[in-house]
Amino acid sequence: MGALAYLARRFVAGENMADALIAVHALNSKGVAASLDLLGEDVSSKEDALIAQKAYLELLHQINAKNAKSNVSLKLTQMGLDVDEEFCYATVKAIVEEAGSYKNFVRLDMEGSAYTARTISMFMRLFKDHKNVGAVLQAYLHRSENDAKALAAIKAPVRVCKGAYKESSSIAFMSMNDIRNSYKSMVQILIEGGSKVAIATHDEKLITWALDWTQDNHIPKDQFEFQFLYGLKRSRAKDLASQGYQVRTYIPFGTHWMPYFFRRLRERKENVFFVLKGLFED
C-alpha cells in the first residue's frame, strides 16, 4: 500500500484543498495554468452530492482568494446524475453560477460511454445561459466527430482527449491510428467552427501535429491550449508555455484517489506503461 500511495502522489496533488492550491501556485510560477478536480464519482445519495457541491463552492472561493490561475473540472456522477437528473442539473448550475461570479470556468468531465449522451445534454442545457462551462469529447468513440460538429455549431469550449475508459469495438476505435485520425479531425472541426479547444494529450505525434497545423493555418494562440495530467509532461508544459502557448495542467486531489489511479492502470493496458514511463520523465 505504501508503494501505491507513493506512485499516486506523483499523479495526485494531495488529499486536501491546501495541497492542491500549493500545486497550482507551483505551476503558475512556470507559466502553466491549472484545472482542479476534487476526486469522487458515482455518488448514491443527494446528501453526498451536496457535500461535493459545497467543496467545489469553497474551492472556487479559495482559488479567487489566493489569486490562483485555475478553473475547476467535475464529474456529473459526483453531482448526483444517477440519483436524479434535475437535482444534478441544479447542483451543477449553482457551481457554474458561483464560478461566473468569480469570472471562472467549470469543465464537465466526460465519463464512460454510458454517460456520454446525458453529459452532452446536460452541458447543452447549461451552456444556453452560462458561457463559462465547457465540455469534453473522447476521440476514440465513433460518435464523437458528430458531437464535435454539434458543439462547434454553438462555439462551445471543448476539451478533446483520446479516452481512458475501456469500451467495446462496436462503439469505439481500437487502433491508435484510427484514434489519432479521429482526434485530428475533431480538433479541426472545433477550431474551424470557432470553439476554444483544449488539446489534452501526452501523445507527441498529436502534439507535434497540433503545433504544425495551428501554425500553418494561422490559428490564434488564444483559440486553443494544451492540457496535461498532473505529474506528466512537466518539461514539455513549461517549454510550450515559454513559447507563448496556453498550457493547463489537470490536477486531481482528494481522499478518493484510488479509483482515479487504478482506472488509468486497469482499463487500458497502455496506461500501465504510460504511468511507469511518466515516473522517469521530467
Confirm whether 159 is a catalytic residue. yes
DSSP string spanning the chain?
-HHHHHHHHHHS--SSHHHHHHHHHHHHTTT-EEEEEE------SHHHHHHHHHHHHHHHHHHHHTT--EEEEE-GGGGTTTT-HHHHHHHHHHHHHHHHHTT--EEE----GGGHHHHHHHHHHHHTT-SSEEEEEETTBTTHHHHHHHHHHTT--EEEE---S---TTTB--SHHHHHHHHHHHHHHHHHTT--EEEE---HHHHHHHHHHHHHTT--GGGEEEEEETTSSHHHHHHHHHTT--EEEEEEESS-HHHHHHHHHHS-THHHHHHHHHHT--
**Residue whose C-alpha is closest to residue 227's, from 213, 206, 212:** 206
107 counts as catalytic: no
- State the catalytic residue, choosing from 107, 159, 180, 248: 159
Catalytic residue from among 109, 147, 180, 248: 109
The C-alpha cell that represents 131 in the structure block: 458561457
Distance CA 69, CA 171 (A): 37
What distance in Å separates the CA atoms of residue 64 and residue 98, rounded to the nearest whole number?
A: 11
Instruction: Please list the active-site residues.
Output: 109, 159
